[in-house]
Amino acid sequence: MKASERAAANLFLDGEEPSNHDCYEEYVRGFDEVPVLDDAVAIPPRRVAPPSFVRGERRTVRKEERPDGYALREAAQAAIERLYGEYLAPKPVNAKRKKPRAPKSAPRKRRGKSRAVG
């Protein structure tokens, strides 16, 4: 088979270039524009300015509501009393188990005339 016949039939031997090699080169060139990991690493991170208190971008601790010490102690004491009450409570009684069901009996065989199939 001649080279021109193989090219017409899209059959190529090793070392021969196909006729659509230019289309393939253009296709591969398109990947040059796609960013890869190396490109992403080379891009420096964005500079972000620290938040400004004046513009209200971050809350100030000075204006934050502080918890009341007396209320915290009362809440902790109430939680301890509740947990201790649960500890002193009697154990819950387990519910009575139901008796297991008897296994179903095997289906009964019919006696008498047999039915003809057909």
Q: State pLDDT tens for residues 72-109.
A: 999 999 999 999 999 999 888 887 888 888 877 766 66
pLDDT bin (cut points 50, 70, 90) of residue 70 is: very high
Domains of the chain, by residue range, sit at 3-87
- CA distance to 7, 11, 19, 22, 111, per residue, from 2 (Å): 9, 11, 15, 23, 85
How much is the average pLDDT of 19-44?
78
Q: Which pLDDT score is estimated for 6?
A: 47
Considering only the C-alpha atoms of the chain, give the largest distance between any 2 of them, rounded to a whole number of Å. 101
Residue with tokens 């208190």: 53
CA distance 79 to 20: 80
Q: Are 7 and 19 in contact (CB under 8 A)?
A: yes
- 10, pLDDT greater than 80: no
pLDDT averaged over every residue in the chain: 76
Q: Which pLDDT score is estimated for 33?
A: 78
Q: Which pLDDT score is estimated for 78?
A: 97
